[in-house]
Chain A
Amino acid sequence: MRIGVVTFPGSLDDGDAARAARIAGAEAVRLWHGDSDLHNVDAVVLPGGFSYGDYLRCGAIARFAPVMESIIDAARGGLPVLGICNGFQVLCEAHLLPGALTRNQHLHFRNRDQWLRVESADTVWSNGFTAGQEILIPVKNGEGCFVADQRTLDELEAEGRIVARYIKGNPNGSQRDIAAITNEAGNVVGIMPHPEHAVEALTGPSLDGLGFFTSVLRALAGATAGGK
């Protein structure tokens, strides 16, 4: 399985995301923001960082990168896409996910190991977890406060589209403690904390992050076995 990892100008965590994909057992394929060719990848990760310097709004300019035009089309066709941190912001700006990520309510950058509760194991990126499972992965953001109107929040709750919530402390003021959400089809997931930083005992607080990468491989293997 080939997992593509996009590099925008200003991406920081593309290397770690590619490494996490490899540790999970995938072939990591580096994708360049200026190249609209997705090189036959089976899934895409939009990594953390500060694409285009976070100018205007986080993710606002990355959304118009040539590679994003292809990813937006492919995501609407079912391609699994995981946006981490800045990648989550890009997915919201691209309208693949609802809501927006705004300045942390306390205005401070937060960088710490964060407990999450997995709320939905029904996405291609979270099927390896069980609903209610508590996991520990690093969070590091300045603009991670998820906001949406009440109707959208209620819809996300009702449709089981909140993938993970912050527990034991909300690091940024996100509404309803939202840390990760998915689209209606469950193939696009945005997560503010960084699963790619929790895949090895040497550098991470846990190995919990690996579950996101093994989940998509399992989903892809299942899709292949099912002849889809």
Chain B
Amino acid sequence: MARVVVDVMLKPEILDPQGQAVANALPRLGVDDVSSVRIGRRVEIEFDGEIDLDRVNEIADKLLANPVIEDFTVNVAEVA
């Protein structure tokens, strides 16, 4: 079994109101030194056999991320 982790993040220039809401809540926890919070999505994909990274990139580009507003990174994970 092989696992790939795809991290999807909003592009830096796209406003992340969800992250802002979290940042605005942090002072209530007594945390006053945070300048920015941005929220993304982590997708774990398990393949039965070998990982074809080209295919993973295609999956990420066509479905998991919207390249208009999001960037993604692909990493092969160690599976115990």
Answer whether A and B are interacting partners: yes
What is the interface of chain A, defined by CB distance below 8 A to chain B?
56-57, 60-61, 64, 92-93, 98-100, 102-107, 147-149, 173
User: Which single residue of chain A is at the shortest CB-CB distance from B68?
Assistant: A100
- The bracket for how many chain B residues form the interface is 10 to 19
Chain B residues with CB under 8 A of A61:
63
User: Which single residue of chain B is at the shortest CB-CB distance from A58?
Assistant: B66
Identify the 10 closest CB pairs spanning chains A and B, nearest first: A100-B68, A100-B69, A107-B17, A105-B17, A103-B17, A100-B66, A57-B66, A107-B21, A147-B14, A147-B69
Cross-interface CB contact of A60 among B15, B18, B21, B66, cutoff 8 Å: B66
User: Which single residue of chain A is at the shortest CB-CB distance from B14?
Assistant: A147
Given contacts A56-B63, A60-B63, 11 further A-B pairs with CB under 8 A are: A61-B63, A64-B63, A100-B66, A100-B69, A102-B15, A103-B17, A105-B17, A107-B18, A107-B21, A149-B13, A173-B15
Contact (Cβ within 8 A) A148 B68: yes
Contact (Cβ within 8 A) A103 B18: yes
Contact (Cβ within 8 A) A102 B69: yes
Identify 26 residue pairs between A and B in the complex whose beta-carbon atoms are under 8 Å apart, listed by A's number: A56-B63, A56-B64, A57-B66, A60-B63, A60-B66, A61-B63, A64-B63, A92-B68, A93-B66, A99-B68, A102-B69, A103-B18, A104-B17, A105-B15, A105-B17, A106-B17, A107-B17, A107-B18, A107-B21, A147-B14, A147-B15, A147-B68, A147-B69, A149-B13, A173-B15, A173-B17
